[in-house]
Amino acid sequence: MGGSLDERSSCSSSKRRRRNNDHAERLPRKQHLYLAVDDWEGGYSIHKLDADDILEDTQGGGGEHKLLEHAAIRIKTPMCGRMEFTTVGTNILVDTNPHNRGDHAPPAVIYDTETAALTVGPRFPRGIDPLATSIAVGKTIYVLTTADLPHLPCLQALSWRRVAADNIWDPYMDWSWNKVQSQPPFNGVDIVGYALHPDGRTIFMSTRKQGTHSLDTSNGVWTGLGDDWVLPFKGQAFFDAELNAWVGTDRKGAGYVCCCQVASRSATTKWPLECRVLKEKLFRRNNEEHYMEGGRHKDVTLTYMGDSRSCLVENIVSSKEAIDTVLHVTLFGLKYDHMGELQTKGRRGTRSYAVSKNTRHFSHATFWM
């Protein structure tokens, strides 16, 4: 009347499998560090690194590691030159030839880190240079350094959106570029620092000569916030909810991490934002001899990983005779001490990777996804 033992056992096993599958589906996807480098003769690689491996490295970064031979993806380039990378959502957008724009540009390559799928994207419109100065707002990438003409600045945005289909075989959703209707009050190439407000829609941008402005991407309205102050960061800064502040690299170029209060979206700020600089120097930059034009230290990127944790990647030329470099990766956390000063927290992970480079025109790109 209750069924055989085998039937009851089979039913119970099926229920357990369903519960396990449901639990697995609810688990958040593990994020990784994605590192783009020009490390092979044919082009560029994007490597997928596990942050836990770096944190658990018992050598403490004492030796140089090799990046895995099998990269997440490799992209062949037709010429010895730079590529550029940026992200939106789980996608990495690759500009395979920044020298060509408009009808002469090759299609973009879009790599979905969640599915490991490749998509061919639209050509890059004229005026975009460089792609690296861009920021994701929701599912849209805003490229800040765009201009139709030198004296006619504009702002281009790339998004996955509904498009007009001429016939039933055309896709109704696709990646497409669109120009923001409101004209920026400055030339994008003059931007020195930028950050996304925690409201998730307002971009703050500081320029060399015209102070700081904000753009509300929900309505395209630009607001001048004062011409006598700029964000204290070099390049992009990130909002840290635990610190309730923007975090970035100090624009003074001294090799330090800093944070500052979030600027108001409406009121014109007449004074520099309060800034706290991490006294502990995480950069390896010092006064060593420059090995080549542009300096021994190629570039530094700061990538926010969430939960007040960040990843600092510093690219250093390895010798005078070669263009090969060593990438130094440092994972660290931030908090305020009892005096309100910025300090590191928790475990710190460090690891160095030797990279055989093929061009001097590209350093690296780093993303947490």
- Does residue 137 form part of some domain? no
- Does residue 360 form part of some domain? yes
- Tell me what pLDDT residue 12 has: 56
Q: Can you give the pTM of this predicted structure?
A: 0.85
Report the number of distinct structural domains present in the chain. Answer: 1
Contacts of 26 (CB under 8 A, 6+ apart): none
Per the model's pLDDT, the better-predicted residue between 92 and 299 turns out to be 92
Which residue in this structure is represented by tokens 């300096």?
A: 295
Share of the chain above pLDDT 90, in %: 47
- Yes or no: say if 119 and 94 are a contact pair by the CB < 8 Å rule: no
- Does residue 176 form part of some domain? no
- Does residue 77 form part of some domain? no
Contacts of 361 (CB under 8 A, 6+ apart): 81, 82
- Tell me what pLDDT residue 164 has: 67
Spatial separation of the C-alpha atoms in residues 66 and 16, rounded to whole Å: 42
- Tell me what pLDDT residue 368 has: 96
Residue 1 pLDDT more than 90?
A: no
DSSP at 281: -
Answer left, alpha or beta for residue 316, where phi above 0 means left and psi between -120 and 50 means alpha: beta
Residue 293 pLDDT more than 80?
A: no
Bridge partners of 230, per DSSP, are none
Which residue in this structure is represented by tokens 């001097």?
A: 360
Instruction: Give the pairing of strands 365-368 and 191-196.
Output: unpaired
SS3 37: strand
- Does residue 41 form part of some domain? yes
Nearest residue to 112 (alpha-carbon basis) of 160, 170, 40, 43: 160
Tens of pLDDT, residues 341-351: 999 998 899 99
| DSSP-H helix ranges across the chain | 5-26, 51-55
- Does residue 102 form part of some domain? no
Domain that holds residue 64: 35-70+287-369
- Tell me what pLDDT residue 62 has: 59
8: amino acid identity, one letter: R
- Does residue 81 form part of some domain? no
- Tell me what pLDDT residue 161 has: 79
Tens of pLDDT, residues 211-252: 999 999 999 999 998 888 899 999 999 999 999 999 999 988
Least confident span in 194-198, 202-206, 267-271: 267-271
- Yes or no: say if 300 and 312 are a contact pair by the CB < 8 Å rule: yes
- Yes or no: say if 77 and 101 are a contact pair by the CB < 8 Å rule: no
- Yes or no: say if 229 and 211 are a contact pair by the CB < 8 Å rule: yes
Nearest residue to 113 (alpha-carbon basis) of 88, 77, 84: 88
- Yes or no: say if 320 and 288 are a contact pair by the CB < 8 Å rule: no
Residue 356 pLDDT more than 80?
A: yes
Report, as an integer, the average pLDDT of 18-37.
74
- Tell me what pLDDT residue 270 has: 61
Q: How many CA atoms lie within 13 A of 280 on its CB side?
A: 11
- Yes or no: say if 213 and 187 are a contact pair by the CB < 8 Å rule: no
- Does residue 15 form part of some domain? no
